[in-house]
Every structure is written in C-alpha cells, then in structure tokens.
Structure 1
Amino acid sequence: MLEQNLTGKRVVITGANSGVGYEAAKTLVEKGAEVILAVRNEQKALAAKETILKGSPKGSVVVMGLNLADLKSVGEFAQNYSSRFHSLDILINNAGVMIPPYQTTKDGFEMQFGTNHLGHFALTGLLLPLLKTTPNSRIVTLSSLAHRGATIFFDNLDGSNGYKAMKFYGQSKLANLLFAKEFDNRLKEHGILAKSIACHPGISSTNLFKVGKKDAPGYLKVLMNLFLQSAEMGALPTIYAATETSLNGGEYIGPDGRGNRKGNPTIETPASGVYNEETMKKLWEVSEKLTGVVYDFTNA
C-alpha cells in the first residue's frame, strides 16, 4: 500500500527540476514531505519550486546545488546537507545524462558512467550515516530499460579505448541497477534497516525525439503518445519504490505494460543473469576506488 501521508518525512531528489524527478517531487510534496531538489541548475529548480508550491502551498521545498559530474561538489552537498538537516528518510538517485558526445567529468570519468553511477555512488555513501540513523529510510536508484543487453566495460570505463554513446548509457544504467541490488544486500548483511530499491520509468514521450531546443513535429508527438507515456506516468515507479509499504528492499520497479515501456508500477524481473555476484562486487570495489568514498556499514 502506498504511504499517503509523508508529513515529517525528508526527501532528497537529484535532478528534480524537470521530467520524472520533477513529477516525483510534486507528488511527494503533495503527500506532505519536505523535498530537497538537489540540482546543477539552481535557477531552473527555483522556478520548479515555485510551480510545485502553487499546487501544494502547505508543502515544503528546498533547493540545493549539486553537480554529480564533480566529486568535490558531491562532497560539498553531503556536508551542507548533513550540517543543515539531521535526518534523511528517502534519497532518490534520479538525475541522469543520456547519450552525449564523448566527454568526461571534472574527475576524468566518462560523463554517463561518472554522473549516472559514480556521482550517485559517492553521494549515497556520504549520506549513509544519516540514512542509517533515520528509521525506515529508503534509497531509490533509477535504472533504465537500457540495462538489457548492457555490459560493464571494466577495461574501458573511461571510454578512452573507444566510445559508443548508447552502449555507455546502457553501462551506466546497468551499474545503477547492480549498485541498488548490491547495496541492499550489504545493508541486510550488516543488519541496517534502510532499504535500497531500483526502478525505471519505462519510456517517456517527453525526452525522446528532441534535438537541441526543437520539439518533435505535432504528428510525431501524437504517434509517440500512443506508444509511450508521460513524465507523470514515468514518475509512478519512483513514487511506488519510495512509498510502497510492502517492499522489503532489493526490488526492481517498472511499468507493467508490454515490454515494460508504459503502464502502472509493479515489481519487475530484470534481464536474465543481470545480478551476477562477481560483477556486482567488482563494480562496488572499483566504484569505491574511483570515488574515494568507502561505505561505513557499522550499525548505528
């Protein structure tokens, strides 16, 4: 059953000024949560905050700067958050970069792997002390249908030996899924009651067929809306993962329609053989080494 009253709950959502993250923020504020929009573009987030509060004037929204493509910024956000707040009920690792031309983060990581996975890995690890001391906390990490058929290129994580944007996007989204599962395994192993859950939004008509500032032609939008879903629908798996009381941690939530492209949220089975123990452990070790963030699983 979805938790309807989130009054007193504190939620951090990365990349929450547009798309699925914005829609999730809107709904969680409506349910009474205090939502922190952790974003790179604070101006856009302030505009988003204004719109959200118009719909939920009693809600609470805070804007804080965070650039996941810069580990220094991630560290500063975690420090600022921890000095300002003393609890964290829900962390939603939502922000993402999709199929850019080859480029690297401030720390020299391939942009998609560095932002989508490593940035969130570092952020979650740095906020873990608060997650451990907040009763029944949750960490929701967004993956994608692109995890299907994807591989972690351990010998070419930075893309310097060849780069294909879509393959590296798939790698980053597979990494998100493996991280969420391995994290939940480790939380349970150490008797920590926080739950880590993965989800994906299906395919949203809002983020496809757009080049630069040009929108798709009207007829194409109509066609896409027949087969794909809106950002509001795309946000439902995130909201379900964050608030469904029956979840135990370790689940993967996605739309229930054909091919999991659209529909209402349900527990989904990832692609066959995805949860490879050796790969998950190797990814974890590599992520700690690259980010310099080592998770403290001592029970609070």
Structure 2
Amino acid sequence: MTQIGLLILVVLGAIKAYLILTTGVCTSTKKLTGKTVIITGANTGIGKETALDLAKRGARVILACRDPKKAAIAKEDIIRESRNKNVFIRQLDLTSLKSVRKFAADILKSELRLDILINNAGCATIEKKLTEDGLEVQMQSNHFGHFLLTNLLLGNVRIINVSSTAHRWIKKLNLDDLTFERDPSDNKILNIYGITKLCNVLFSKELAKKLEPFGVTVNCLHPGAVKTEIFRNAPTWFQIIAAVCIPLFFKSAKEGAQTSIHLAVADEVANVTGEYFSDCKIAKTSKLAKDLELAKQLWEVSETFVKLKPEERHF
C-alpha cells in the first residue's frame, strides 16, 4: 500500500471514529406504559426504530404510514421484538390533505388520549411535481402535511418534529413562492428539501411560542446523516455516491432515532420547548431559522395553503 493510500485510510478511520464518539445516545430508562404515541413514517428507518424503542417501553404505538402493506410488516417486526402487542396501523398519506384530515378524525374518535406526536415522515430528492392539492410534493410531505396534522391533533401532546441540518443550506425563504414556480434558484430538488427542513424548524419555533402558556412542549431535531430509504427516489448518480459514502459516514437507523427517542422520554427535556436538538443535546440553528417574524409569517401562509378551517384554528 502506498503512503497516500495509507494516509487516506487513516483519515477515513479518524473521521469514522469521531462520528462514533460524538453520536448521541438516549440513556433514559423511562417507561411509557399507558401512554399513546403517534409516529409518522414508522414503517422503515428512523421511524421504525423509534417505534420499536417506545414499544419496548410499554407505549401504545400508532404507526402512521402511507403503505399499509409495508406498515403491516413493520408492525409484526415491532411486536415480535418488543413483545408489546399494542402496536397499531393507521393509514396516512401526507401528500393528501384529505387523507390527513381523515386520519386525524379517526384518531380523535378512536383514541382516549394522545401523549406524544412524532412528525418523522419525510422525502428527499424527489422529482419536482405537484400533489392533488396543488402543492409541491416534498413541501407537502415534509411540511404542509405535518403542519395540518399537528393542528388537528393539538392538545396536551408532546410534539417532536424531525428536521435536518439541511436547513442550513437555505439563505432566504420566499413565502410567495412555496410551490417553487418563480425563482429558478429554489427550483432544484435538493434546495427544495433544504427549504422544507427550514420550515420544520420555523414551524416548531412558532408552535412552541403559541403553546408555551399551556405547558405543551414542541422541539425539532437533526437525526444525523442516517442510512435510510429517504434517497430511494434520488437520481442514479446521487444513489451511486450515496452507496459509497453511506456505509462509511452515515449512522444506522437505530443511531439516527436516538434524538427522537430522547425528546420523547427524557425527563431533562420535559419542560424544554422551542429548541433544535442534535445527538441528544441542544444545537445551533442557522441565522434564518432564528427569525421569529419569519416563523410567524410562515405559519400564516401555511394556514392558507392547507385551508385550515375556522373551527380547526386554535390560535
């Protein structure tokens, strides 16, 4: 092996060691017996690992998933590994506002309580297209769908939104073009993904402010670069790069779920709200994500896009 090759191996090894040492782990042993949890996108990846962990803690876990067949397989796995039969499937397609409303109505009718809502589902690098509601598909799946869902289920519920460090890519947010039809610079699939993740942070900030008087907490998080199926719709060239980089530098789904689990169970964050977490601790956001006036304006625009009805408004 040449000296250059050896140096590359040493550098890669050092990077991998650093990633392992800095990966946050939820150390709480708290049980969730008697608690009800909803996790969107819980049939695979981070969502499934989060569901498994919370099921092991005794929670009643609702898997909110678009594909019932895939959800059924995940449910069987979770019940088998957790030995908790209180795992249920409810169909939810975040790219359909009709589906979101039906899901929420069914939950409010069938569930006696709801304690934790984890808005985990998301998509990335999907070709730009509009949903049946006339909204850009990544934007609706990652932001608008969860915005509506959360508003419909508001109550004494701990809310956890899975965002991403990708929000840092975005230096401006044009609230007049959230369908990405005007500004060419925003019309790229990776840029749209970053915008959706910025919206997750801004939504969390504004909702936390609105709910603070009621003692309800809202936080968001960056799970890390995680080996999941989120890039399954990416272009071939992107998947080739990912195939090389993911095994070396990405977390496993179980590692990626740790911060979501931490926010759901840890006593030390029980009264923390409006924060952004990474590796189970509070982290810094971009400057734009701290703009509370922008967060307020995004809320107002989002109400319009999802056609939030007067009876659905809590504020």
TM-score bin, normalised by smaller chain: 0.7 to 0.9
Contact 2:136 2:180 in 1 (8 A): yes
Deviation at 1:207, TM superposition (A): 4.0
Number of the residue aligned with 2:254: 232
Deviation at 1:292, TM superposition (A): 2.0
Written as runs of structure 1 = structure 2, the 5 A alignment for 1:1-12 is 2=28, 4-12=30-38
- Tell me the distance in 2 between the aligned counterparts of 1:100 and 1:208: 10
Matched, 1:199 2:225: no
Written as runs of structure 1 = structure 2, the 5 A alignment for 1:232-271 is 232-247=254-269, 248-255=272-279, 265-271=280-286
| Superposition TM-score, scaled by structure 1 size | 0.87
- Tell me the distance in 2 between the aligned counterparts of 1:3 and 1:68: 32
- Tell me the distance in 2 between the aligned counterparts of 1:284 and 1:211: 29
- Tell me the distance in 1 between the aligned counterparts of 2:202 and 2:96: 22
Q: How many residues align?
A: 280
Please, what is the CA RMSD of the aligned residues?
Answer: 2.3
- Tell me the distance in 2 between the aligned counterparts of 1:105 and 1:272: 31
Q: CA 1:213–1:44 in structure 2 vs 1: closer, same or farther (change >3 Å)?
A: farther
Number of the residue aligned with 2:114: 88
Matched, 1:292 2:312: no
Decide which structure has the larger Cα Rg and report it: 2
Deviation at 1:60, TM superposition (A): 1.3
Greater helix share, structure number: 2
Matched, 1:46 2:68: no
Deviation at 1:156, TM superposition (A): 1.6
Match of 2:289, SS state, is: coil
| Superposition TM-score, scaled by structure 2 size | 0.83
Match of 1:172 among 196, 200, 214: 196
2:306 aligned partner, one-letter code: T
Written as runs of structure 1 = structure 2, the 5 A alignment for 1:80-229 is 80-128=106-154, 131-132=155-156, 137-150=157-170, 151-161=172-182, 162=184, 163-188=187-212, 191-207=213-229, 224-229=246-251
Matched, 1:65 2:91: yes
Contact 2:55 2:61 in 1 (8 A): yes
- Tell me the distance in 2 between the aligned counterparts of 1:210 and 1:296: 36
Q: CA 1:86–1:210 in structure 2 vs 1: closer, same or farther (change >3 Å)?
A: closer
Q: Which runs of 5+ in 2 are unaligned?
A: 1-26
Written as runs of structure 1 = structure 2, the 5 A alignment for 1:275-290 is 275-290=290-305
Q: Which runs of 5+ in 1 are unaligned?
A: 256-264
- Tell me the distance in 2 between the aligned counterparts of 1:186 and 1:84: 27
Deviation at 1:2, TM superposition (A): 2.7
Deviation at 1:222, TM superposition (A): 7.3
Match of 2:277, SS state, is: strand
- Tell me the distance in 1 between the aligned counterparts of 2:76 and 2:235: 23
By relative contact order (CA 8 Å, sep 6+), the higher-ranking structure is 2
Deviation at 1:208, TM superposition (A): 7.2
Contact 1:147 1:170 in 2 (8 A): yes
Query: Percent sequence identity over matched residues?
Result: 39
